[in-house]
A = this chain, B = another copy of it.
Amino acid sequence: MQTLRQFLSPAPSRGFRYRRLPSTSRIPSTARHNSSHARNLHHQTPFHSSAAEAPQQQQYPDPLPSTNPALSFPCLDHVETRSATLSRRAPGAGPEPSYTTGRTDTFHSTDPLLLDWGGILPSFAIAHESWGTLNADRSNAILLHTGLSASSHAASTAANEKPGWWERFIGPGRPLDTERFFIVCTNVVGGCYGSTGPGSVDPANGERYATRFPILTMEDMVRAQFRLLDSLGVRRLYASVGSSMGGMQSLAAGTLFPERVGRVASISGCARSHPYSIAMRHTQRQVLMMDPNWNRGFYYDGIPPHAGMKLAREIATVTYRSGPEWEQRFGRRRADASRPPALCPDFLIETYLDHAGEKWCLEYDPNSLLYVSKAMDLFDLGAEHREMIAGLRGKNQYKLDAYRQGETLETAEAADLCTLTLPETPYQETGDAEATLEEAAAADIGASDEPPADLVAGMRPLADTPTLVLGVASDILFPSWQQREIAETLRKAGNKKVMHVELGVEQSMFGHDTFLLDLENVGGALKRFLER
């Protein structure tokens, strides 16, 4: 044991003159560090262990011990190690990982695609996989839409035997019955698993699009998918089926092309994004964009923003699962109760999130996450929005015509379109609870059981399409009220063939992820819907 007096006396000097510090008053700490030195410490222990690393004019003796030991940060060490590993990869190969999930078929369209918000894809590829056999009259095709980050690999194939993300849902006698149906699943445009996305090369300049990729919508992705269906000779789908983002797309397909879609199944989807889900995706995009390695999207030759991707996935994972399961599975258990608490992952729920982020941070292209997640925010089947987009498409049709004729826009005009700045007066919190409650009362929020008229009008194209709407009570990202909204809107629009299923907490505690896990309830409802 050392005495306290020993602690307060000068430490063994390395030949420097020791400056006695006042022990209780605050001292201007610039007397001891400067900021560049402080920043170097990010990769060091917090002690000034090496005088050589300090600037010449500031040399210190060994420090006095602190009252308590410094915390360690193994979680940061781990991230830094990965950065170092990625930067050591062979320069020829580039550090950018390959996002392929295995062999797929690829459809190439050389006819340019005009996007809803005015962007143009001069050409594009759609990676796709299929199961079952297309019948002679091509009437048994089901288009399966994916969630945000999934590939076309929904189930194992001869070319890729790895289990897919809906492995148990596809096969003979399964909900997507391969003895009866021809099921095709695509990687969405904007994705990174073989379809054209921000990581693809822009034919105009031979460089990767990065954040020169145009803003996308669900409907743009669906239009690209229907080009693939055209190439397969599928005029009319038996059904459009999807979960999560795929649920949005399934509804979008039925709304855009009612005459080409026989049935629509939307599982844990929505008719329009609501503020909580936009907010949660916003935070994911922001943490990713704040990673210096993101480099405004131009990281393809550098270190990918794996730290930002890890964080984004951790936030996303919170929204994918829900309270009841976590209460039971993790509760308040710590990863190692024999250790003192730490600021790095410590509770079991934290190590679960950390692990989810670790597993994923090099599995998906960061720019694809930004564009596809933004497309989800923009989704809105309301009539006002649909009409606005229709108007915009009309206005921009000349771009497509010009492009097809070998002309293009002047850069100045195009650049002006995309310089969104924040409004000059940002949103102000009023703090006036009464006023807002009155506004809410006036707007009848939560009081009305009627679906919004704007949505009824916008979804009217689906009035004759048999539709399955499935929601999960424990889902916080696409909450069950959003599923009820779809079902009630369709009924109000005159649809007499709406099958609405809501799984209560006693049926599923898995929140939004239920669609990936619950073969019995989700698969069962889907099978009944497709076969009736």
Contacts and interface: CB of A to CB of B under 8 A. Distances in A.
A182 interface: no
Interface stretch (A128-136, A239-247, A254-262, A282-290): A282-290
A66 B212 contact: yes
A100 to B, nearest CB: 13
Contact of A327 (B274, B293, B419): B274
Interface stretch (A185-193, A230-238, A298-306, A486-494): A298-306
B272 A24 contact: no
A312 to B, nearest CB: 10
A508 B65 CA distance: 51
Interface residues of A, number: 188
Nearest to A441: B506
Contacts of A56: none
A363 interface: no
Interface string A242-282: 00000000000000000000000000000011111011101
A350 interface: yes
Given A63-B207, A276-B322, A287-B290, 5 more contacts: A39-B295, A283-B314, A286-B311, A289-B343, A341-B420
A510 B296 contact: no
A409 B66 CA distance: 11
11 contacts: A1-B407, A4-B403, A4-B408, A23-B203, A41-B296, A46-B297, A63-B205, A68-B214, A282-B345, A332-B385, A358-B426
A410 B445 CA distance: 62
Contacts of A207: 21, 29, 32, 63-64, 66
A475 interface: no
Contacts of A347: 275, 278, 282, 377
A121 B520 CA distance: 56
A506 to B, nearest CB: 7
Contact of A46 (B296, B311, B344): B296
B426 A354 contact: yes
A381 to B, nearest CB: 11
Contacts of A35: 87, 91, 95, 301-303
Interface in A202-240: 202-215
A518 B30 contact: no
Contact of A325 (B34, B37, B201, B436): B436
Contacts of A159: none
A376 to B, nearest CB: 12
Contact of A414 (B68, B355, B517): B68
Contacts of A427: 348, 351-352, 355
Contacts of A34: 91, 301
Contact of A206 (B23, B345, B443): B23
Contact of A205 (B66, B91, B420): B66
B283 A353 contact: yes
B349 A72 contact: no
Most buried by B among A71, A74, A426: A71
A202 B272 contact: no
Nearest to A377: B347
A38 B298 contact: yes
Interface string A111-130: 00000011111110000000
Contacts of A214: 67-68
A236 B36 CA distance: 51
A92 interface: yes
Given A29-B207, A340-B118, A420-B344, A272 B212 contact: no
A350 B29 contact: no
Contacts of A439: 328-329
A460 B287 CA distance: 43
